[in-house]
């Protein structure tokens, strides 16, 4: 089943207003990511939401293509870019499964808080690998709930069934690392953050 973009449209306004859940961890992730960027970097972000991360990295790179399945998320992201006068981030409404770009286009691909929401993350990881230049990096931050919070699963399943909630998978951090390695990456950094519930992973496409 394809991503229900209407659900994400519905969340967009609230998402834009909500504070970052763990500001210290967010800032650390931005700093680590920046160590992989250069002024020539061409970056893709998928599932960019309302664009905060792409806009934060914009001054340090040549260009960012920031994409999201939700038209409303992208509209909010674009209005933030316009307000800040940022012109090297191209916001685009497209789902990652349909993204059109030649192989080897990017120095970095980012996917934050999205791998646990995908129908087929293995297919997306393979596509990300193709999209990167040799030596390029995939930077992801993923909620990995494993066996915890099992009691909210029925609520999520019903919400998904009636179309008011997105698919949410309860990933295990070790399995996620294995999926990324199986897609052809070497893990450069693997940090458990936010009470070990979030996996921040930097993975390199072997040159």
Question: Where on the chain is the footprint of ligand SAM (CB under 6 A)?
Answer: 3, 8, 46-49, 68-70, 73, 95-97, 112-114, 117-118
Cβ distance to ligand SAM smaller for residue 118 or 183: 118
Pairwise CA distance, residues 136 & 180, whole Å: 14
Minimum distance from CB of 206 to ligand SAM (Å)? 26
Structure-block tokens of residue 118:
């995908």
Q: What three-state secondary structure class fits 53?
A: helix
Cβ distance to ligand SAM smaller for residue 23 or 40: 23
Cβ distance to ligand SAM smaller for residue 149 or 186: 149
Cβ distance to ligand SAM smaller for residue 109 or 117: 117
Pairwise CA distance, residues 50 & 202, whole Å: 22
Minimum distance from CB of 67 to ligand SAM (Å)? 6
* Closest residue to ligand SAM: CB criterion: 49
Minimum distance from CB of 207 to ligand SAM (Å)? 27
Q: What three-state secondary structure class fits 16?
A: helix
Cβ distance to ligand SAM smaller for residue 68 or 107: 68
> Is residue 47 left, alpha or beta, with left meaning phi > 0 and alpha meaning psi from -120 to 50?
left
Query: Own/partner pairs for 118-123, CB < 8 Å, 24+ apart?
Result: 118/3, 118/167, 118/169, 119/1, 119/2, 119/3, 119/167, 121/169, 121/179, 122/179, 122/182, 122/183, 123/97
Pairwise CA distance, residues 190 & 188, whole Å: 7
Minimum distance from CB of 111 to ligand SAM (Å)? 7
Minimum distance from CB of 126 to ligand SAM (Å)? 14
């Amino acid at each position: 089943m394809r991503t229900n973009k209407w659900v994400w449209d519905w969340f967009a306004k609230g998402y834009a207003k909500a504070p970052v859940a763990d500001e210290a961890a967010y800032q650390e992730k931005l700093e680590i990511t920046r160590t992989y960027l250069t002024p020539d970097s061409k970056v893709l972000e998928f599932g960019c939401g309302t664009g905060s991360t792409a806009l934060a990295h914009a001054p340090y790179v040549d260009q960012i293509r920031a994409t999201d399945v939700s038209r409303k998320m992208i509209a909010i992201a674009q209005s933030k870019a316009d307000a800040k006068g940022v012109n090297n981030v191209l916001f685009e409404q497209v789902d990652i499964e349909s993204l059109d770009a030649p192989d080897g286009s990017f120095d970095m691909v980012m996917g934050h808080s999205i791998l646990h929401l995908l129908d087929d993350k293995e297919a997306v990881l393979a596509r990300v690998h193709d999209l990167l230049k040799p030596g390029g990096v995939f930077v992801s931050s993923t909620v990995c709930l494993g066996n915890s919070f099992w009691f909210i699963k029925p609520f999520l399943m019903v919400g998904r069934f009636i179309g008011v909630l997105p698919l949410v998978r309860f990933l295990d951090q070790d399995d996620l690392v294995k999926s990324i390695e199986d897609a052809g990456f070497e893990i450069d950094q693997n940090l458990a953050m936010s009470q070990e519930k979030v996996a921040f992973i930097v993975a390199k496409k072997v040159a």
